[in-house]
């Protein structure tokens, strides 16, 4: 019994958590209860029951089927239900009159054929893509038609049946709509607004989290790629949110569809509020999120730039990232508060820090480039050729060049790197090669299948460059290039942000957001 009590209390706390997460859930449930109760009262009390009769049962069915989470969705369903019922009623009355006038023998045949046709046509129409949102309406047409025409056939006048049924459906619909709108309404528009704002923040969070991990993480080896690609990443909460953003297009669209049915309310005071613009902004944001997904892919790919190399660009990457994330958050806040602010200074900052990142990559691109260094090759040759010109002092020169070489390496690095001291630079270079060696073991596992046989095969055949440079170096270079990929993706993200800013501008114009005076 203790186990039971424990699991029961943990279950209770789960439910409590679930309610606390979104108060609207409880409100919605209570509202459904209320609406059903109100309709039932029409039967439970003697007076209304005597007026409406047993047909009032249909209003209960209507409430149960029509009551949706948001006001807009309820209106939408109500519209489907109402139009479907009316159309079905009209059709049924026409067909019933035709059947009646055609005599007793033909009547059931006409009714049967008409039912078959209605069933076929409505089912076909609801598969048509542009009519798919009205799927429920077609179902309503089908069963209302069948019910009216068959009750009419068996129980007399179809017009009376149709009318009675429409009355009670109308009563159910009115109760459902009134309860939904008047008692703590849950507006689809409000939900859509929140959803979009949340997406902005989750993209920003996820970007920062991903880049943060890329820079901080001293390659906490995660060899199980499969797991890491498919799994839940328990240590990356923002990533999960961002991924759900990617799949939110359907949700945004259905909310926007519902929101269009809603009257002006709350903060959305003017008619024809541009809800579809929200979907567009969501789409642009999703295209930014694709870049974050690609960044995440690089973060978890098996070929990694060595930690020290990443460290070299840490400052620039972090600056650009944090400014990009700030811009995204700022856009999210603007939408949240329904105001326009000038993003010029933020954009300026972002663009110049992206420029700095570009330049940093540019200047250090020899680090990213091959360790098969054309430079070394060339200086050897230079020495070679020089040796022919100045034979007597060859050994001297050679020595001097060597000295210069090693000295130069430091100086170029220190020029290129604006902040770190010379010693740090050399340290970085040293540990760069160090890490590389360590990394090799890891890299060797890639590509993981039958590679060695592939190489043997290749080498036997004498594949065109097989022996030209050691295989390891190719991997090293690819590893270093993964840093280039990472930064390119950040830059691409920033480029897409421009269009996100434009989309939000467009939204704020159409939705008449307040100008914020700075």
Q: Which of 476, 498, 508, 507 is nearest to 291 (CA)?
A: 498
Q: Which of 49, 29, 25 is nearest to 39 (CA)?
A: 49
The terminus-to-terminus CA distance of the chain in angstroms comes to 65
CB closer to its own copies out of 2 and 154: 154
d(CA 174, CA 168): 10
CB closer to its own copies out of 80 and 122: 122
Contacts 24+ apart (CB under 8 A), 232-235: none
d(CA 268, CA 79): 22
Q: Using the 8-state DSSP alphabet, how is residue 372 labeled?
A: S
CB closer to its own copies out of 264 and 470: 470
What number of other Cβ atoms are within 10 A of residue 42's Cβ? 20
Dihedral sign, CA of 9, 14, 17, 19? negative
Say if CB 320 and CB 356 are below 8 A apart. Answer: yes
Bridge partners, 339 (sequence order): 514
d(CA 443, CA 306): 11
CB closer to its own copies out of 112 and 266: 112
Q: Using the 8-state DSSP alphabet, how is residue 513 labeled?
A: P
- DSSP characters over 75-102: HHHHHHHHHHHHHHHHHHHHHHHHHHHT
CB closer to its own copies out of 267 and 495: 495
Residues sharing a CB contact under 8 Å with residue 86, sequence separation 6 or more, in sequence order? 166
CB closer to its own copies out of 268 and 486: 486
- Provide, rounded to whole angstroms, the least separation between the CB of residue 187 and its own copies: 17
CB closer to its own copies out of 39 and 238: 39
What number of other Cβ atoms are within 10 A of residue 480's Cβ? 22
Bridge partners, 268 (sequence order): 265
- Provide, rounded to whole angstroms, the least separation between the CB of residue 431 and its own copies: 20
Say if CB 264 and CB 270 are below 8 A apart. Answer: yes
What number of other Cβ atoms are within 10 A of residue 395's Cβ? 9
CB closer to its own copies out of 58 and 268: 58
Q: Which of 483, 503, 450 is nearest to 283 (CA)?
A: 503
CB closer to its own copies out of 264 and 382: 382
- Provide, rounded to whole angstroms, the least separation between the CB of residue 110 and its own copies: 10
CB closer to its own copies out of 160 and 375: 375
Q: Using the 8-state DSSP alphabet, how is residue 515 labeled?
A: E
150 token code pair? 């068959």
- Provide, rounded to whole angstroms, the least separation between the CB of residue 95 and its own copies: 13
3-class secondary-structure state, position 268? strand
- Provide, rounded to whole angstroms, the least separation between the CB of residue 243 and its own copies: 10
- Provide, rounded to whole angstroms, the least separation between the CB of residue 8 and its own copies: 16
Say if CB 202 and CB 238 are below 8 A apart. Answer: yes
- Provide, rounded to whole angstroms, the least separation between the CB of residue 264 and its own copies: 27
CB closer to its own copies out of 358 and 431: 358
- Provide, rounded to whole angstroms, the least separation between the CB of residue 271 and its own copies: 27
d(CA 65, CA 176): 10
């Amino acid at each position: 019994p203790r186990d039971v009590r424990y699991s029961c209390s943990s279950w209770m706390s789960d439910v409590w958590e679930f309610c606390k997460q979104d108060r609207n859930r409880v409100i919605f449930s209570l509202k459904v209860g209320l609406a059903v109760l109100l309709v039932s009262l029409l039967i439970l009390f003697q007076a209304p029951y005597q007026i409406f009769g047993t047909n009032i049962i249909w209003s209960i069915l209507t409430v149960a089927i029509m009551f949706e989470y948001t006001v807009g969705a309820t209106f939408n369903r109500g519209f489907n239900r109402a139009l479907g019922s009316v159309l079905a009623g009209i059709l049924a009355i026409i067909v019933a009159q035709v059947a009646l006038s055609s005599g007793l023998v033909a009547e059931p045949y006409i009714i049967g054929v008409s039912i078959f046709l209605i069933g076929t046509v409505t089912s076909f129409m609801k598969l048509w893509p542009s009519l798919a949102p009205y799927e429920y309406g077609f179902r309503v047409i089908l069963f209302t038609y069948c019910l009216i025409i068959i009750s009419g056939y068996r129980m007399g006048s179809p017009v009376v049946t149709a009318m009675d049924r429409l009355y009670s459906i109308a009563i159910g619909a009115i109760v459902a709509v009134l309860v939904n709108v008047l008692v703590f309404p849950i507006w689809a528009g409000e939900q859509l607004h929140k959803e979009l704002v949340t997406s902005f923040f989750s993209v920003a969070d996820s970007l920062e989290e991903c880049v943060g991990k890329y820079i901080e993480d001293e390659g906490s080896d995660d060899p199980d790629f499969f797991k890491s690609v498919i799994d839940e990443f328990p240590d990356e909460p923002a990533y999960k949110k961002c991924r759900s953003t990617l799949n939110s297009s359907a949700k945004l669209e259905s909310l926007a569809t519902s929101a269009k049915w809603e009257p002006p309310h709350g903060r959305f005071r003017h008619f024809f509020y541009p809800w579809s613009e929200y979907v567009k902004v969501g789409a642009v944001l999703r295209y930014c999120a694709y870049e974050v997904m690609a960044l995440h892919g690089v973060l978890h790919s098996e070929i990694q730039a060595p930690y020290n190399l990443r460290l070299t660009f840490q400052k620039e990457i972090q600056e650009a990232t944090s400014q990009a994330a700030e811009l995204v958050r700022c856009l999210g806040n603007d939408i949240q508060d329904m105001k326009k602010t000038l993003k010029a200074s933020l954009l300026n900052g972002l663009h110049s820090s992206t420029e700095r990142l570009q330049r940093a990559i540019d200047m250090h691109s020899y680090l990213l480039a091959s360790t098969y260094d054309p430079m070394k090759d060339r200086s050897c040759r230079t020495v070679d050729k020089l040796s022919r010109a100045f034979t007597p002092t060859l050994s001297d020169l050679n020595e001097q060049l060597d000295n210069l070489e090693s000295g130069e390496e430091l100086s170029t690095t220190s020029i290129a790197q604006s902040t770190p001291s010379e010693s740090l630079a050399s340290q970085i270079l040293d540990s760069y090669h160090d890490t590389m060696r360590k990394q090799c073991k890891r890299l060797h596992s890639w590509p993981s299948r039958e590679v060695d046989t592939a190489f043997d095969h290749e080498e036997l055949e004498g594949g065109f460059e097989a022996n030209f440079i050691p295989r390891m170096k190719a991997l090293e270079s690819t590893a270093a290039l993964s840093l280039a990929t990472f930064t390119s993706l950040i830059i691409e993200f920033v480029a897409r942000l421009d269009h996100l800013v434009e989309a939000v501008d467009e939204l704020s114009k159409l939705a008449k957001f307040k100008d914020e005076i700075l």
